[in-house]
Structure 1
Amino acid sequence: MRGFLALGGLLGLLQTASIIGFAWFVSVLVTGAIAGQSLAELSGSFAALAAMVLLRAFTVWAMDAASAAGAARVKSQLRVAVLAGIRRLGPSWTQRRGSAATATLVGPGLDALDGYFGKYLPQLILTAIATPLLVLAIFLNDWLSALIVALALPIIPLFMVLIGMATQAVQRKQWDSLQRLSGSFLDVVGGLATLKIFGRERRQLARIRTVTDSYRTETMKVLRLSFLSGFVLELAGSLSVALIAVTIGLRLLDGQLTLAVGLFVLILAPEVFLPVRNVGAQFHAAADGMAASAEVFEVLELADAIPADAAAAAPAHARARARGPLRLDAVSVHRGDRLIVDGLSAEFEPGTLSVLAGQSGSGKSTLLAALLGFVPSEGEITLGDGPLTRTEIAWAGQNPGLGSGSVAGNIALGSALAEGNPERARLIEASMRLAVASGIDPEHELGVNGAGLSGGQAQRVALARAFYRWQELGTPVLLLDEPSSALDAETEARLLGSLRAAADAGAIVIVVSHREAVLAAADRVL
């Protein structure tokens, strides 16, 4: 934002000059007309006055344009940063926070920064520049009016601080209410099919109505404070200008002040208070964005505390292919206060198909999440002679995680190969064959969350995505969580053949499963 701040300072200076020039030339024209000067004699002042009007219009437009561009740039940078931070924090953090709250933060939360950069910050810059210069201009012409301004001006910031403190508290509640509303609505939409099956969908109306009323109440509190703030600031400014006008009028009658000076000061007086009043008014427009940005910086600080994946920044083809076994040395994983995996040590050799088996809740999926770096763990996880990184893993979880778009686009998600590249098409075809998904049309368009496929088809598309990554990047580790849970016996047998082929090609294949056929096909069961 440095460039925007510098440009805002320059535009604020030009706008202040146009305000002073406008007041000066209006007073010259009025006093000249009263003195009986002709139109020709006043034409130069008319032209200068028109130039001041155009200059002020230009500076106002330029400030709006610059602030809009600055807001877009900042929002873009913050979104990229916070999404990278969320990626580093992993799914466990997102699950604890809630996907609706995260989406609200990254979407409408950051959009609210438009009010901060588009309205509040430009007005703050203008106030910092215009107010002292305008007071100086008044002082050079009439020290008494400048004294009145100097005494009255601090009253407005005092009211702004008092009202601002109250505004921040209610704005925080409004922001929390919006996040609760988003989460509640997402929960209802996500479980609507189940609710409808059991005839309970109408019971959610009261819950949504309660949360919505809470948000409406908090919003009205913010609006009441906004209107109160505007009224107080306008009243303080108007009374101050009225006091200056009365003193100027009395001194004009007494002959202590000339009409030109009195008129000049009287025109400038409202302009002194206007930027300060506007800062207070625009503070409310900026409050949403400031509340959201505070949470954004909390996310970034949490993400910065996690060591960066050094290999993630390197291009896939530039990374050395890791060779050697995958070792777990005294690995422990906690979920909150619960110890899920306790001091596990194991070794997985390249070219082997290993199966993690056990009862539900015994920590199989948690161990995979630890290998992926999605949950914090203790102990060491190494591949060959270095730490295991996500860039060396291809994986498919229990949830297919498909999005809207074509089946091919979902399979090649994150690929470095551009759409239309023959190699990309070849890898998609080979991956679908390995995932026993050749019967699915790769150009078939999916809806939201991959709608348009059966459970088994969605699972095979997710497996094809893992196979695609394994083939394109040559990842040495292939992790699959319950890959055949939605498959029939024949399809499962063909998939096991693909997993055996991947292991024979040198991959470390680790599968979470309790299916008898998968256990029977394994080289090792842990």
Structure 2
Amino acid sequence: MEYSGDRSLAGLTRRMGLWLGVAVLLGGGAAVLLVLQLAVLARIVADLAFRGHAFGDEWHAVGLLLALLAGRAVLQWAADMVATEGSLRLTSALRAELLRHLFAVGPVGIAGQATGQMVTALGDGIAALEPYFAQYVPRAAMMVVVPLLVLAMVLHLDGWSFLILACTGPLVPVFMALVGYRAQAIMDRQWTQLLLLGSAFLDILQGMTTLRLFGRARDAVTAMAGMADEYRRTTMSVMKVAFLTSAVLEFFSSLSIALVAVVFGSRLLEGKADFQSAFLVLLLAPEYFMPLRAFSASYHARQNARAAMTGISRLFALPAASARPDTHDASTASLVSVTCENVTAGYGNGIPVLSDASCTFTRDVLTVVTGASGAGKTTLIRLLLGLLAPAHGRIIATDEQDVMPAHWRDRIGWLPQQPRLIHGTVAENLRLAAPTADMDTLRRVTAQADALSFIEALPQGFDTPIGERGARLSGGQVQRLALARVLLRNPQVLVLDEPTANLDPQGARRVAAAIARAAAGRIAIVIAHRPAMIAQAGQVLRIRDGQVRAVPHGLECAA
């Protein structure tokens, strides 16, 4: 079930609270062992240097020191592993939720979104959250736990050193925050440039043929190089701020440690402090600032995550289309008709594309829908597919038992104008519709789609690789193969969008004839303008001025 709670960084942090709690607990245990380790080390050095102990007298202390060192390493490793595991689980779940949400929004809802930006948000955007939860959040917690533990130990040993560390320590986060405020603005600009860079690169790839035909390929490469160089300069600006942040941290930590050393050194010379306490405090002082160093090293993860969440939240904010339940119809009777009753539909701009339109599609009748560009043909198809909800009216289906099944859209087979084929064999492309289909079934549907003859003429038949998007096939062969893939699902409603649009006359006639044969026993709806397709129609509907009207026989080509 999709999580529908708070998807801000704070909300996501609460979602993996258990993993973070365990990681912080293990890290706190490692910090306790660190303090004990330094205390044992200080005692060993004091015994050897000032108390006249031989090295053999310290074997037990050395063993304890090694045990504490190993225990600390194991606990810290476990803390890092727990935080990383929780981060990976969270980002994987978030990516799955975002994909499910985009599927719920549907192609109509995401039509206005840049493809490159969506891909970047799903890929680099969610990946940028992983170091935030695996490193930044645990280190932010340890930045509180370890200094408090060190301060408590130092307070027990020496009040002056406690006062110095307590005063200088808070200055580091304050100045880091002042520097980081500027870094966040630069990081936001860098993320925006990355989104634009991804979108521009995808646009250039998709329009490469057009750019070459118009002689603008070199200009596109130059523009792309300019955007990449701008992104490089912004990234270097981020790095400059990161180095400045580290410099601020190192300055104040070095100043604090130096003050502790000077104060303790003078007191040692005066005989007002013992060596073991002074040595232990000097060992603890760098560890007091070590969590701040680790936090500073991962601070850019927070900036990346905040910038990435802007794009991710924008995608989650897209309204989902009306969802259909996953249950299927109890009735197995075949559909006999699909009817649009007084349907009004549009896209939110206030002007309906279809206005009070009515039409009926019946079984065994091939219906061809025509109309000028922008008349509403695609809108009608989206309504039939359930990708767009009508503002008024309804679309119903009736089966042989005169029942109106609620989920009749599960029985639709859809063939777009430009079908997508994967980089694989003919059989692999067909089995996308039915992974368990045997070879006899593949032969039957390809014969029905008039594709069997050319498939068998290929070098390896059904095992022939066809290249990316069917690059090794002609346009007509791609259409017939895609039609066979749709028929493999045995749909009761067949919806096709301009299946002969980009074919030569001979290829258009073969595809049109194959569609006419496939329409037998089904409700077949085709958007088309080519005479070859219209000639096969049993019913021609024309969309004009938001209305759907039947074209009388003999006037089909004029439609």
Q: Is the TM value for this pair above 0.5?
A: yes
- Residues 433-483 of structure 1, C-alpha deviations (whole Å, 9 max, x = no match): 2222211343222333332222222222222222122x1xxx432210012
2:525 aligns with one of 502, 510, 525:
510
Conservation of the 8 A alpha-carbon contact between 2:424 and 2:467: yes
- Residues 330-352 of structure 1, C-alpha deviations (whole Å, 9 max, x = no match): 23122756643333233333443
What is the distance in 2 between the residues matched to 1:321 and 1:428? 25
**Which position in structure 2 is the counterpart of 1:89?**
105
What is the distance in 1 between the residues matched to 2:470 and 2:91? 29
Q: Identity of paired residues, percent?
A: 32
Conservation of the 8 A alpha-carbon contact between 2:336 and 2:523: no
- Residues 299-330 of structure 1, C-alpha deviations (whole Å, 9 max, x = no match): 23425x4443313xx4x797866746323342
- AA aligned to 2:447 is R
Q: How does 1:62-101 map to 2 (within 5 A)?
A: 62-101=78-117
Deviation at 1:286, TM superposition (A): 4.2
1:445 aligns with one of 465, 488, 504:
465
Corresponding residue pairs, total: 512
Deviation at 1:386, TM superposition (A): 5.6
Please state whether the residue corresponding to 2:347 is helix, strand or coil: strand
- AA aligned to 2:540 is V
1:325 aligns with one of 312, 337, 343:
337
What is the distance in 2 between the residues matched to 1:250 and 1:376? 82
What is the distance in 2 between the residues matched to 1:325 and 1:148? 85
Q: How does 1:177-196 map to 2 (within 5 A)?
A: 177-196=193-212
Q: Is 1:17 matched up with 2:32?
A: yes
Deviation at 1:290, TM superposition (A): 3.8
**Which position in structure 1 is the counterpart of 2:486?**
466
Greater shift, 197-206 or 170-179, is seen at 197-206
What is the distance in 2 between the residues matched to 1:128 and 1:145? 19
Greater shift, 11-20 or 125-134, is seen at 125-134
**Which position in structure 1 is the counterpart of 2:360?**
347
Deviation at 1:282, TM superposition (A): 0.6
- AA aligned to 2:359 is A
Structure with greater helix percent: 1
Please state whether the residue corresponding to 1:453 is helix, strand or coil: coil
Q: Structure 1 residues 491 and 195 mapped into 2: Cα distance closer, same or farther (>3 Å)? A: closer
Deviation at 1:404, TM superposition (A): 1.7
Conservation of the 8 A alpha-carbon contact between 1:334 and 1:341: no
- Residues 187-229 of structure 1, C-alpha deviations (whole Å, 9 max, x = no match): 2222222322333221223211221122112111111111111
Please state whether the residue corresponding to 1:97 is helix, strand or coil: coil
What is the distance in 2 between the residues matched to 1:99 and 1:209? 20
Deviation at 1:522, TM superposition (A): 2.5
Conservation of the 8 A alpha-carbon contact between 1:354 and 1:523: yes
Please state whether the residue corresponding to 1:90 is helix, strand or coil: helix
Conservation of the 8 A alpha-carbon contact between 1:382 and 1:388: no
What is the distance in 2 between the residues matched to 1:337 and 1:401? 33
Deviation at 1:495, TM superposition (A): 4.4
**Which position in structure 2 is the counterpart of 1:371?**
384
Q: Structure 1 residues 509 and 171 mapped into 2: Cα distance closer, same or farther (>3 Å)? A: same
Q: How does 1:283-432 map to 2 (within 5 A)?
A: 283-302=299-318, 305-311=320-326, 314=327, 323=335, 325-328=337-340, 329-334=342-347, 336=349, 339-375=352-388, 377-379=390-392, 380-384=394-398, 385=404, 391-413=410-432, 415=434, 417=435, 421=436, 423-432=437-446
Q: Is 1:38 matched up with 2:54?
A: yes
Structure 1 stretches lacking a partner, 5+ long: none
Please state whether the residue corresponding to 1:308 is helix, strand or coil: coil
- AA aligned to 1:466 is V
Greater shift, 494-503 or 220-229, is seen at 494-503
Q: Structure 1 residues 391 and 411 mapped into 2: Cα distance closer, same or farther (>3 Å)? A: same
Please state whether the residue corresponding to 2:339 is helix, strand or coil: strand
Q: Structure 1 residues 115 and 442 mapped into 2: Cα distance closer, same or farther (>3 Å)? A: same
Q: Structure 1 residues 503 and 450 mapped into 2: Cα distance closer, same or farther (>3 Å)? A: closer
Deviation at 1:71, TM superposition (A): 3.2
How well do the aligned residues superpose, as a CA RMSD in angstroms? 2.7
Q: Is 1:158 matched up with 2:171?
A: no
Please state whether the residue corresponding to 1:347 is helix, strand or coil: strand
**Which position in structure 2 is the counterpart of 1:8?**
23
- Residues 225-271 of structure 1, C-alpha deviations (whole Å, 9 max, x = no match): 11111111221222222222222223333333322222222211221
Greater shift, 10-19 or 121-130, is seen at 121-130
* TM, length-normalised to structure 2: 0.84
Q: How does 1:256-267 map to 2 (within 5 A)?
A: 256-267=272-283
Please state whether the residue corresponding to 2:112 is helix, strand or coil: helix
Q: Structure 1 residues 252 and 16 mapped into 2: Cα distance closer, same or farther (>3 Å)? A: same
Q: Structure 1 residues 65 and 299 mapped into 2: Cα distance closer, same or farther (>3 Å)? A: same
- AA aligned to 1:428 is L
- AA aligned to 2:38 is A
Conservation of the 8 A alpha-carbon contact between 1:356 and 1:525: yes
Q: Structure 1 residues 279 and 487 mapped into 2: Cα distance closer, same or farther (>3 Å)? A: same
Please state whether the residue corresponding to 2:478 is helix, strand or coil: helix
Conservation of the 8 A alpha-carbon contact between 1:436 and 1:491: no
What is the distance in 1 between the residues matched to 2:30 and 2:54? 30
Conservation of the 8 A alpha-carbon contact between 2:423 and 2:469: yes
Conservation of the 8 A alpha-carbon contact between 1:79 and 1:106: yes
Deviation at 1:493, TM superposition (A): 5.0
What is the distance in 2 between the residues matched to 1:170 and 1:321? 62
What is the distance in 1 between the residues matched to 2:512 and 2:155? 88
Deviation at 1:154, TM superposition (A): 1.9
- AA aligned to 1:231 is A
- Residues 38-96 of structure 1, C-alpha deviations (whole Å, 9 max, x = no match): 21221111111112222232233333333333333223222222222222222234442
- AA aligned to 1:97 is Q
Please state whether the residue corresponding to 1:343 is helix, strand or coil: strand
